[in-house]
Amino acid sequence: MAISQQELKQQVAQAAVEYILPLLQANDVVGVGTGSTADLFIDELAQYKHLFRAAAASSERSAQRLAKHGIQVLDLNDVESMPVYVDGADEINALRQMLKGGGGALTREKIVASVAERFVCIADESKVVDALGAFKLPIEVLPMAVASVSRAMSKLGGVAHIREGFITDNGNPIIDVAGFSVKDARELEQRINNIPGVVCCGFFALSPATVALIATQDGVKTL
Ligand code: 5RP
């Protein structure tokens, strides 16, 4: 019988904890991502909270979950470095470039990840793609730039829709852009970053994951 997606997420969450424990020292801070896979990782990590100092979270949601487990959550301004950041992805390719932001936490995810020495991506096999872009690209924008950034996206060949009823932890809307056929995610990420009003786009290609743990029907594989 096939292993369900939920079980695969659980397996990869456990594998991530086993992967990072040897990297951690007593005074270390762990970077923690956002989403259903990250939630499972937090629950696993909690069993080992005596082995590290604290966490830095990429969302209020994850911060609350960490705190419920009794894990101290630090303001990122008080964290100089972290050995590791662990997070899920909506898509990941063979270069470990990712498309993220389905949960809307992309900006804080990119910021927290930038402080860590390694980005460990955890995902089930449904997230592995040949080319990024089938999943709609989330872009966090300043409120006054929703229309102008959406027009810029249509010039790049995408179709943008505002995410209804959603505001990020930073107080901004998100537009989701469909229809990109992505040949060079690094180039597209750079172009989108340069559009006035864009806070952050969901491509994580300029800084891809250091390693990806992918849960498959045949066990957790390393990419
Ligand atoms: C949130 C994200 C998540 O990592 C991404 O959406 C994957 O989520 P899940 O683990 O629930 O499939 O980028 O902003």
Instruction: Give me the residue spans of the domains in the chain.
Output: 5-127+207-222, 137-203
Partner residues linked to 30 by β-bridges: 55, 84
pLDDT at 1: 87
pLDDT at 28: 98
- Please tell me the distance from the alpha carbon of residue 128 to that of residue 9, in angstroms, as a whole number: 14
Q: For 5-127+207-222, CATH number?
A: 3.40.50.1360
Ligand 1 atom 10: the closest Cα is on which residue?
37
The predicted model scores a pTM of 0.97
Does the interface ipTM go beyond 0.95? yes
Tell me what the mean pLDDT of segment 42-59 comes to.
98
Decide if 93 contacts 186 (C-beta within 8 A).
no
pLDDT at 181: 80
Question: What are the C-alpha distances in Å from 205 to residues 21, 71, 124, 151, 194?
Answer: 26, 30, 19, 23, 15
Name the binding residues for substrate.
34-37, 87-90, 100-103, 127
Q: Which amino acid is at 34?
A: T
Q: At 81, is the secondary structure helix, strand, or coil?
A: coil
Q: What atom of ligand 1 comes closest to residue 123's alpha carbon? A: 10
Per-residue pLDDT band for 8 (boundaries 50, 70, 90) equals: very high
Q: Which CATH class is domain 137-203?
A: alpha beta
- Please tell me the distance from the alpha carbon of residue 33 to that of residue 45, in angstroms, as a whole number: 12
**In terms of DSSP H, where are the helices of the chain?**
5-20, 36-45, 60-68, 106-115, 146-155, 185-193
- Is there a common fold for 5-127+207-222 and 137-203? no
Mean pLDDT of the chain: 97
Query: Which residues lie below 8 Å from residue 109, measured CB to CB, with a gap of 6+?
Result: 33, 34, 58, 59, 87, 100, 101, 204
The tokens describing 100, both together, are 């993220």
Instruction: Give the pLDDT confidence of 145-196 residue by residue, as tens digits.
Output: 999 999 999 999 999 999 999 999 999 999 999 998 889 999 999 999 999 9
CB of 136 closer than 6 angstroms to any ligand 1 atom: no
pLDDT at 77: 98
pLDDT at 80: 97
Instruction: Give the pLDDT confidence of 94-133 residue by residue, as tens digits.
Output: 999 999 999 999 999 999 999 999 999 999 999 999 999 9
Instruction: Give the pLDDT confidence of 69-79 residue by residue, as tens digits.
Output: 999 999 999 99
Count other C-beta atoms under 10 Å from residue 145's C-beta: 19
Measured N-to-C along each axis, helices 36-45 and 5-20 cross at an angle, to the nearest 10 degrees, of 50
Q: What atom of ligand 1 comes closest to residue 102's alpha carbon? A: 6
